[in-house]
Chains A and B, each alone.
Chain A
Amino acid sequence: MTATPSTDWSFGFLAFLNQNDTSHVRGGILTADPGGKPLEFRCSSPIRPSHVQRLLYGKSLLPHILVDLVGIPLAKSLQKKPSAILVQDPLLLEMSREIEVPIIHISKQGDGVMLSPEAQSAVSEEGIITCPSGRFPPIVALSSRSQAERVKALMSLMSVFHENTDLLEPFERIKKALVEVDNQKALQG
């Protein structure tokens, strides 16, 4: 995919609530324009695995929930597809097997990313995105090797976005919104 110089592009941001405690996991996806303004938002019903399910699924539970049960459905539910979907958990790079739109993992430079030995071979580092004005910290972008070429072409768009809005900031908005959803009990799992 070739990055376009126009402003008619957007990024999706996928985030989760209660990710580490798998008793109750809810996800949300927000697409934002180059200025960081929201374009579309969707959230999922909560996934609540039972005790037995947690035992039997074991280590495969978290990837299964994040990727198959929440991430992929949310990505598919978007009305208007973004140029890429940004994520903060490297597990979610697995979404690329079903989602056409490039999945890019981003993190603050220096934070380090925990990758399993299997994942390390499947992931490629695309580079560092910096903010010329220094307002926001440099960001490291990773993607799965199968999407590497397409993601490389998107690096310039990510730089444009990062000039106006911290690429890591929209994840916080999603989490706040998910807390509000939980509080309102609007969606029943």
Chain B
Amino acid sequence: MSSILSLSARFAARVVPLQPAPVVSIHPQLSARTLVLRNIELTIPAPSVDPIHVERLQPATCSDGLGDLSTIEFSPVLLGAFEPVRFWGNLFSPPSATSGELEGTSVRPTTRHNGFRVAFVEGRPGGRVDAERTMSIWDRLFPLLQPPIRLDFPELPGLPNELYPYQVDGVRFLGGQEGALLGDDMGTGKTVQAIVAMRILFQTGKVSSALVVTPLSVLRHWDRHLEFWAPDLCTSVVRGNKERREGIWKMPAHVWVTTYDTLRNDSDFIEEVRGAGGFDLVILDEVQKIKNPETGYSQSVNELEPRWRWGFSGTPLENRLEDLSSIFGFLKPGTFPRFWFGSPGEARETIRPYFLRRKKEDVLKDLPPKKLIEEWIALEGKQREHYDRAEREGIVYLKQLGKKVRVTDVLVLLIRLKQICNVDLETGESSKTEWLNDFFEELEASNAKAIVFSQFLNSGIHWIAQKFNERKMLVYSGDLSEQERDRVISRFQNDSEPRVLLMSRAGGLGIELTAASYVVHFDHWWNPAVMRQAEDRVHRRGQTKQVFVYDLWAENTVEHRIHEVLGAKERLYGEVIDSLATVGDTGLTEDELFGLFGLENPKKAWEVAGQSSPNLGDGLESPKQ
């Protein structure tokens, strides 16, 4: 006690006397809570109320429109003295093409995009003009926005032409098969069926990329058919030198079309650019090219891993077991085990669900009596080079003649160029002959017969006979005696072999050639009516078979321009020629003849072709009249 007291006394001066217990009162009107203690004020700061900032949702941004999808702008661009190359204003990605007046230029379109053709112009003096094209999101959307192609009705809206019922069946078959082989006879439209089926896959979003692999001879055939039947798909044709091909592989597209050779040569690059996935759909035309699994063609094809795989062939593959095994090794892996010991009949049963073949006679009732098919052939390599040089030099020569130039001079150049379109005799290169090679293979396999017409001898029927000498062909030309001609016709009509008759215009009226069901115009007479007359040797009373007529035209050459001029005349006048107004038998007026080479008619006196044989020099032959 005393210690406590003494402590107290010691601190008495410092200790604050204890106060009564605090009284707390809260003043509700204050935001802060204030505790009022007697003589002590403690303020508890007000809680901060942060407003939660909620951003208002903003309206969406709307994309640029695709504009009026029903129209396409058209702006012709003239490149040099040749036919205009048309650049359609593309709705999705306008081209960044540059162009100008050029001379001595050949324009070779290689890429088409929704009606927009990109031209790669090469080898000109003054440099190259390359047009670039990019594929935007709109290019991907365009096929998706098209009305659907329905297969459950006879009419297929959204197609430029009607399909025959058997073709609708073919499209339905392909659209339902991720691995399929279509083996219809040639001339029945396998390409059309493939393109329409492919278009459906694109429209339904099942594929977004496709590769078509074809023999060189039908590369342009595919390009043109894609342009006609699927203009909404962006197509790239892969050809040319390595640098150019690499550029084309890299360019975005829906469909790439190339040859077996190119695929083999570029397979590493394709894998690098496209990745392991490659393409969603691969179409192999003339699929028998991969019948041997050891070849480079087969190996490069088998490196692709598409989900959809279609093969096409006009040859009756179902009878060749060894071929089927390799072909289905790609189309439907696992169909045939490595060591297949079954019979051909069992093999046919095995592939039945994936194989569709219609012969001409099966679908005859759907086809018109005579079917005209234009085949556009691209000149390549040295043939192209020599053609371009001859045309360039020829035009220079014609221009140098100035006002002295005559129609005969133009005809001389015309004939020379047409001959090179058939074959470059310097090197033996001939794109048309390559086409014939594939055609003859299918002909052989179909047990059919064909007539090949040409107006030329050395660069026409004699060339073909010599080129295919192992195939035994009959030749009918003006230098045969009458007896020899009769023998040729009789053999062709009555004997099972040979299957091919090569004929010059000497095969005139009155000759019956109904044993044939295929006609090929290797080149064209001046007057298309003459060609129709030639066909009528085959397509006439007594003919029991469907007749297919193939017209071979060399693309981007004087043949191409003649085709356009004559075609335009036919559309305008309903008939091709008015002999009073045309130069001799050409079907073309003087102005049109000069116009083929970008020249103006110097208004000199008429000199009708045929009055005297033109001096062509170089041992070239005049066409047989």
Contact = CB atoms under 8 A, between A and B. Distances in A.
B59 interface: yes
Contact of A177 (B60, B61, B70, B141): B141
A40 B62 contact: no
A70 to B, nearest CB: 5
A79 B60 contact: no
Interface residues of A, number: 51
Interface stretch (A81-89, A113-121, A179-187): A179-187
A6 B64 CA distance: 29
Q: Is the interface of B mostly helix, strand, loop or mixed?
A: loop
A23 interface: no
A130 interface: no
Interface in B45-99: 52, 54-55, 57-70
A94 B569 CA distance: 58
A159 B157 CA distance: 18
A165 B147 contact: yes
A176 to B, nearest CB: 5
Contacts of B54: 52-53, 56
Nearest to B148: A169
A8 to B, nearest CB: 11
B140 to A, nearest CB: 6
Nearest to B64: A42
A135 interface: yes
Contact of B65 (A32, A77, A180, A189): A77
> Which label, helix, strand, loop or mixed, suits the secondary structure of the A interface?
mixed
B144 interface: yes
Contacts of A49: 57
Given A42-B62, A79-B65, A184 B140 contact: yes
B369 to A, nearest CB: 32
B147 A37 contact: yes
A65 interface: yes
Given A41-B66, A44-B62, A184-B140, A53 B55 contact: yes
Interface string A72-99: 1110011110000000000000000000
Contacts, number: 115
A74 B205 CA distance: 24
Contact of A41 (B57, B59, B141, B148): B141
Contacts of A35: 147, 157
B147 A79 contact: no
Nearest to A28: B63
Interface string A34-78: 011111111111110110110011000000110011101110011
In this complex, the interface size class of chain B, counting residues with CB under 8 Å from chain A, is: 20 to 34
B144 A180 contact: yes
A88 B148 CA distance: 20
B140 A69 contact: no
Contacts of B64: 42
B137 A64 contact: no
Contacts of A43: 62-63
Contact of A40 (B59, B60, B65, B153): B65
Given A49-B57, A53-B57, A73-B62, A177 B144 contact: yes
A179 B204 CA distance: 12
B428 to A, nearest CB: 49
B60 A47 contact: yes
Interface in B135-179: 137, 140-141, 144-148, 153, 157-158
A50 B58 CA distance: 12
Contacts of B148: 169, 173
Name, among B62, B67, B140, B205, the residue most crowded by chain A CB atoms within 10 Å (CB to CB): B62
Given A37-B70, A173-B145, A180-B144, A42 B60 contact: no
A125 interface: no
Contact of B62 (A32, A46, A74, A184): A74
Nearest to B205: A176
A56 to B, nearest CB: 6
- Minimum-distance CB pairs A-B, first 6: A44-B60, A77-B62, A36-B147, A186-B137, A45-B61, A38-B145
19 contacts: A35-B147, A37-B158, A38-B66, A39-B69, A42-B66, A44-B63, A45-B60, A45-B62, A47-B60, A52-B52, A53-B57, A65-B57, A69-B57, A69-B59, A79-B68, A164-B157, A173-B144, A176-B144, A177-B144
Interface of A: 26-27, 30, 32-33, 35-47, 49-50, 52-53, 56-57, 64-65, 68-70, 72-74, 77-80, 135, 164-165, 169, 173-174, 176-177, 179-181, 184, 186-187, 189
Interface of B: 52, 54-55, 57-70, 137, 140-141, 144-148, 153, 157-158, 204-205
Given A36-B157, A44-B62, 9 more contacts: A37-B69, A40-B67, A69-B60, A73-B62, A80-B68, A169-B148, A173-B145, A173-B148, A177-B141
